[in-house]
Amino acid sequence: MYGVKTFMANQPGWQLIHAEINPEKHVLERIILQNADTYIIADAYDGKRINESVQALFDYAAGNGELTVKGVKGGKDADAYVFMGHNAFLDGNINTAAAKTVQNKSISVFACYSDRYFSKPAEKAGVKPLIMSTGRMAPEAYNLHALVDAWSNGKDAEEIHEAVANAYNKYQKSGIKGARRLFTYSDNK
C-alpha cells in the first residue's frame, strides 16, 4: 500500500534522484532518495529471490560487498541497514553466514516477527539490532520514513522507537500501546 519510492518521494524534503530498472538480475528496481545529507539506496527484489535479499543485507552489514550508485556509497559503506518485506526465515532455512567485522552500525527489520529471526544473525554479523518487530506487521514505507527521519536527526533508540510506533499507529490505527509493543529497540545506534 505504501511503497518506498512513492511514499518517500512525496515526503517534505525528500526527492527521488535516481531510478534504475533491473540493475542486477535479482533486483527489479534500485532507487536513490535524498534529504539534505541523508541518502537511501533502496532495492526492490524479485520475490522469488528473497533469500538473496536477506543474504545481501547480512553481507553488507558484516562489511562485505561494494555498492556505489551515482556516487552514493551503500553496501558495506552504508551507515545503517534496513530490510522491509516478507520474513523469509518463516519459509525455511536461510544462510546468513557472513564474515564478522568490527563495525558500529545498526540494522532494522520491518517484517513479521523480525526480532525472533533477524536479531541473532545480525549480532553474528557484527551489527546491532536497532528496530525489530515482535509480531505480524505491515512493512510499509511510513515505517522507514519515521526511522530514517528520527535517526538522521540524531535521535536515540528510544526516540526512534517512539517515532516508528507513532507512524505505525497513525497508518494502521493499531493503538499507540500496541504499536509500542510491536517494535523492540536497542540502545545501540
DSSP string, 156-177: -HHHHHHHHHHHHHHHH---HH
How far apart are the C-alpha atoms of 89 and 118, rounded to whole Å? 8
Question: Are residues 118 and 137 in contact, defined by beta-carbon separation less than 8 angstroms?
Answer: no
State whether residue 3 is helix, strand or coil.
coil
User: In the predicted model, is pLDDT for residue 56 greater than 90?
Assistant: no
User: In the predicted model, is pLDDT for residue 1 greater than 50?
Assistant: no
Mean pLDDT of 157-186: 97
User: In the predicted model, is pLDDT for residue 188 greater than 80?
Assistant: no
How far apart are the C-alpha atoms of 116 and 32, rounded to whole Å? 30
User: In the predicted model, is pLDDT for residue 8 greater than 90?
Assistant: yes
pLDDT for position 189: 43
pLDDT for position 6: 94
How far apart are the C-alpha atoms of 50 and 91, rounded to whole Å? 10
User: In the predicted model, is pLDDT for residue 99 greater than 80?
Assistant: no
